[in-house]
Amino acid sequence: MKHLNIKIYGRVQGVFFRDSVKRKAEEWRIKGFVRNEADGPVYIEAEGPEEGLEKLVSWSWEGPEMAKVDKVEIEEGDLKNFENFQVI
């Protein structure tokens, strides 16, 4: 188990990014949350098996069809033992 804080920049709000992240997270057994930040990016806290997190990070560089990702920042964090994955 590993915890990642992921911040995604670009045209990522208003393009179903958060809902898409939730579907992918559930598919890859990741728990945590995703939210829009007031200054434009999407922020994700994700915990799960390393393989699932790698898939999520890789997918985050593309996102859903209408998104245009310019930059992805990733930091490792402390486990918070989330129970599920939520859109906030």
Within its chain, how far is the Cα of 19 from the centroid? 10
Is residue 81 flagged as an active site residue? no
Q: Is 1:80 a contact under the CB 8 Å cutoff?
A: no
Phi, psi of 69 (to 5 degrees): -90, 125
In a domain, 86, yes or no: no
pTM: 0.95
In a domain, 88, yes or no: no
Choosing from 11, 18, 23, 35, the catalytic residue is 18
Nearest residue to 60 via CA among 76, 38, 4:
4
Is residue 18 flagged as an active site residue? yes
pLDDT at 51: 97
User: 50-60 and 17-27 helices cross at what angle (nearest 10)?
Assistant: 160
pLDDT at 38: 95
pLDDT at 46: 98
- Assign residue 8 the CATH number of its domain: 3.30.70.100
Q: What's the domain range around 47? A: 2-79
Confidence band (pLDDT; 50, 70, 90) for 27?
very high
Instruction: Give the integer Cα–Cα distance in Å for 53 and 66.
Output: 22
Choosing from 5, 11, 35, 36, the catalytic residue is 36
In a domain, 24, yes or no: yes
pLDDT in tens, 32-82: 999 999 999 999 999 999 999 999 999 999 999 999 999 999 999 999 999
* Domains: count for the chain: 1
In a domain, 63, yes or no: yes
Q: Strand, coil or helix: what is 88?
A: coil
pLDDT at 81: 97
